[in-house]
């Protein structure tokens, strides 16, 4: 029942998307009706032609020629109507798919990072690309064959009733067997197609993960294990696909068997009726043609039903993404933060990624405009989490964070983040030119401003050596650029933007020591007058910070400047001395 309810709900959502293109669908139905009407009228004309061929020397050639001409014209009209119907179906189906895919992709930007962090990127991509493609195929087949199939069944019944109600009753009595067989099979194929889609998503996610980390896989000699895991997923996909295809493939033979029974019954009863004078040979010919046309849509519809099961299973996964709760929207009275002064107040903040595992508890901090605040501590103590909360990538569970006296939950996310410049240890570059990547935050920046930012980040020299300089295209995530070069470009991106507040999370972790010293001087100049939060593992880089917060297990255990903390002889001194002893307690 739960599966049937989910399937029905998915179908309702699909129909809502289809309803956006109701004019195309109405045109398709009209063309389908015209095509079916032409197809069903041909047997009547054919029967008339047969009745004009009574025997040797008794053929009415003029009537036969007129009948054949009419058959040709009707067949041409039916063919044109069918072509128009398919064209309209294609337009409607691909517009529906475009809308679904656009909504799914748009939802990605509104999802909380909690969802993105908790789902493999490849699995999400599989939903938007592979599942939507499967949904598209089922939708195209459904639109094309469902309309004509249903109209053909209804039309042939009417024509057969007009010719001989008794023989029509034979056809109607046998039909439920075909419907019951198709329904039995369809009920079982939905869950199998859904499982197939889930395994395909897991396989896509695994492949994306391994391709991204191929260097690490080879460095640690894990090729065999990754191959074994891929073979395991591949086998699961094979089994799920075979089970789904097996049940869907027996639909057509089953309905064909029932259709053969219908055709045989019509032939026997019709022949007896002709012998008794109740039908002419031409009428029996037309009736047999109708019986064949009546049963043919059941074959097509049964195939459509199994395809629709696959389409609905894939659509269900896409709608799960679309229906995923979006992040908490900006408050109705949210204000825009313009030219922030940089006064930050964190009051009694508690936060946990998982409710049963608290991370930050009762965290308090006061930062004055222009102060440089360094966050240090062991891995997992909550440094990066504080950054996520400051940027409102995550909302606090309790307590508050305020900028310039306003709770950030009452500030629009876009304006809040526009007042921060962020350089992370993990770099990100988009496909495009070097210039486009540097100007990502300020697309309107002039070429001179881009070059000045690159020089400030000490990236100009390596950019100048590239084949096309600032117009050199880079592939996904920087392509062949080194990690250090990518980090320099990310630093240049922030230096071009120059917002009132800065976040530097291990911003120079991949840069050589000599270049790092130069960049630190550039950072010092850039941070002057700007509130800055610096996450550092190398304590030598944060000696000049106004305030150093030493964190452990989500709490601030020590606070002060570099000299004061060393004099205290506490945890900070222990961390500082251990680095120079070569025994790092954190990374």
pLDDT computed for residue 234 by the predictor? 86
Asked whether the predicted pLDDT for residue 167 surpasses 90, the reply is: no
What would the pLDDT profile of 45-68 be if each residue is shown by its tens digit? 777 777 777 656 677 778 778 888
CB atoms inside a 10 Å sphere around CB 327: 17
Kindly list the strands in the beta sheet with 406-407, ordered across the sheet, starting from the edge strand earlier in the chain.
360-367, 344-351, 398-403, 406-407
Asked whether the predicted pLDDT for residue 330 surpasses 50, the reply is: yes
What would the pLDDT profile of 175-209 be if each residue is shown by its tens digit? 767 667 666 666 667 677 777 877 887 888 788 77
**Average pLDDT of span 349-377:** 86
Sequence-separated (6 or more) residues with CB below 8 Å from residue 414: none
Asked whether the predicted pLDDT for residue 402 surpasses 90, the reply is: yes
167 falls within a domain: yes
pLDDT computed for residue 279 by the predictor? 73
pLDDT computed for residue 309 by the predictor? 73
What would the pLDDT profile of 379-400 be if each residue is shown by its tens digit? 778 788 888 899 888 889 999 9
pLDDT computed for residue 345 by the predictor? 92
Asked whether the predicted pLDDT for residue 554 surpasses 70, the reply is: yes
pTM score of the predicted model:
0.66
Top-confidence residue, 540 or 205: 205
Q: What gap in Å lies between CA 323 and CA 284, rounded to an integer? A: 55
What would the pLDDT profile of 105-130 be if each residue is shown by its tens digit? 888 888 887 887 777 777 788 888 88
**Average pLDDT of span 495-513:** 79
Q: H or E element: which one contains 309? A: helix 281-322
pLDDT computed for residue 586 by the predictor? 42
Asked whether the predicted pLDDT for residue 212 surpasses 50, the reply is: yes
Q: What is the CATH number of the domain that holds 156?
A: 1.20.1560.10
Asked whether the predicted pLDDT for residue 91 surpasses 60, the reply is: yes
Asked whether the predicted pLDDT for residue 581 surpasses 60, the reply is: no
Residue with tokens 């697309």: 443
Residues of the chain with pLDDT > 90, as a percent, come to 5
Closest CA to 314 of 189, 134, 105, 190: 134
Q: How confident is the model at residue 211 (pLDDT cuts 50, 70, 90)?
A: confident
386 falls within a domain: no
In contact, 145 and 300? CB cutoff 8 Å? yes
Distance of CA 349 to the CA centre of its chain: 34
384 falls within a domain: no
257 falls within a domain: yes
Q: What mean pLDDT is reported for the chain?
A: 80
Asked whether the predicted pLDDT for residue 585 surpasses 50, the reply is: no
Q: How confident is the model at residue 344 (pLDDT cuts 50, 70, 90)?
A: very high
pLDDT computed for residue 328 by the predictor? 81
Torsion angle of alpha carbons 264, 265, 267, 273, nearest 10°? 170
Sequence-separated (6 or more) residues with CB below 8 Å from residue 548: 373, 374, 376, 542, 558, 559, 560, 561, 562, 565, 572
Q: Structural domain tally of the chain?
A: 1
Asked whether the predicted pLDDT for residue 348 surpasses 80, the reply is: yes
Residue range(s) defining the domain that contains residue 251: 2-322
Distance of CA 103 to the CA centre of its chain: 9
479 falls within a domain: no
Could you please report the per-residue DSSP string of 72-105? Answer: HHHHHHHHHHHHHHHHHHHHHHHHHHHHHHHHHH
131 falls within a domain: yes
pLDDT computed for residue 587 by the predictor? 37
Q: How confident is the model at residue 401 (pLDDT cuts 50, 70, 90)?
A: very high
Asked whether the predicted pLDDT for residue 254 surpasses 90, the reply is: no
35 falls within a domain: yes
Give the residue ranges of DSSP H helices in 250-280. 251-275
Q: What gap in Å lies between CA 23 and CA 77, rounded to an integer? A: 22
């Amino acid at each position: 029942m739960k599966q049937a309810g989910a399937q029905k709900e998915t179908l309702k959502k699909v129909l809502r998307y289809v309803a956006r293109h109701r004019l195309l669908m109405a045109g398709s139905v009209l063309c389908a009706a015209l095509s079916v009407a032409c197809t069903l009228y041909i047997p009547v004309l054919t029967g008339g032609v047969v009745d004009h061929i009574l025997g040797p020397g008794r053929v009415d050639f003029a009537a036969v020629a007129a009948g054949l001409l009419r058959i040709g014209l009707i067949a041409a009209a039916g063919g044109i109507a069918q072509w128009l119907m398919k064209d309209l179906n294609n337009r409607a189906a691909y517009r529906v798919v475009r809308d679904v895919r656009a909504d799914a992709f748009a939802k990605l930007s509104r999802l909380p990072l909690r969802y993105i962090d908790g789902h493999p990127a490849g699995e999400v991509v599989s939903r938007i690309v592979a599942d939507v493609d499967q949904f598209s195929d089922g939708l195209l087949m459904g639109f094309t064959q469902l309309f004509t199939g249903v109209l053909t069944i209804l039309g042939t019944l009417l024509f057969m009733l007009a010719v001989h109600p008794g023989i029509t009753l034979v056809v109607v009595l046998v039909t439920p067997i075909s419907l019951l067989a198709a329904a039995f099979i369809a009920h079982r194929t939905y869950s199998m197609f859904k499982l197939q889609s889930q395994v395909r998503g897991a396989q896509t996610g695994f492949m994306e993960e391994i391709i991204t980390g191929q260097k690490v896989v080879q460095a640690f000699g894990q090729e065999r294990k990754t191959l074994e895991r891929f073979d395991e997923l591949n086998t699961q996909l094979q089994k799920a696909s075979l089970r789904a295809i097996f049940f869907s493939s027996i639909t057509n033979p089953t309905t064909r068997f029932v259709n053969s029974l219908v055709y045989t019954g019509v032939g026997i009863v019709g022949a007896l009726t002709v012998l008794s004078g109740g039908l002419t040979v031409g009428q029996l010919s037309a009736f047999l043609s109708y019986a064949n046309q009546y049963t043919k849509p059941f074959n097509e519809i049964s195939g459509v039903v199994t395809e629709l099961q696959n389409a609905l299973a894939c659509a269900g996964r896409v709608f799960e993404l679309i229906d995923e709760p979006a992040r908490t929207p900006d408050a109705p009275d949210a204000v825009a933060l313009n030219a922030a002064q940089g006064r930050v107040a964190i009051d009694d903040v508690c936060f946990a990624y998982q409710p049963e595992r608290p991370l930050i508890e009762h965290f308090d901090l006061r930062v004055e405009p222009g102060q440089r605040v360094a966050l240090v501590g062991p891995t997992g103590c909550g440094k990066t989490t504080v950054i996520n909360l400051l940027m409102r990538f995550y909302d606090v569970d309790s307590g508050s964070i305020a900028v310039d006296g306003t709770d950030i939950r009452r500030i629009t996310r876009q304006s809040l983040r526009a007042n921060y410049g962020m350089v992370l240890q993990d770099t990100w570059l988009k496909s495009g030119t070097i210039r486009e990547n540097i100007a990502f935050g300020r697309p309107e920046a002039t070429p001179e401003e881009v070059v000045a930012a690159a020089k400030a980040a000490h990236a100009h020299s390596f950019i100048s050596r590239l084949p096309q300089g600032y117009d050199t295209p880079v592939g996904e995530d920087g392509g062949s650029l080194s990690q250090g070069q990518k980090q320099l470009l990310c630093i240049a991106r922030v230096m071009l933007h120059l917002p009132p507040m800065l976040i530097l999370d291990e911003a120079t972790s991949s840069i050589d020591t000599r270049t790092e010293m130069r960049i630190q001087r550039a950072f010092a100049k850039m941070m002057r007058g700007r509130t800055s939060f610096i996450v550092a593992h190398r304590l030598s880089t944060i000696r000049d910070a106004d305030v150093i917060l030493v964190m452990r297990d989500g709490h601030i255990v020590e606070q002060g400047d570099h000299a004061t903390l060393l004099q205290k002889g506490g945890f900070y001194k222990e961390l500082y001395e251990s680095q120079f002893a070569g025994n790092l307690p954190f990374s």
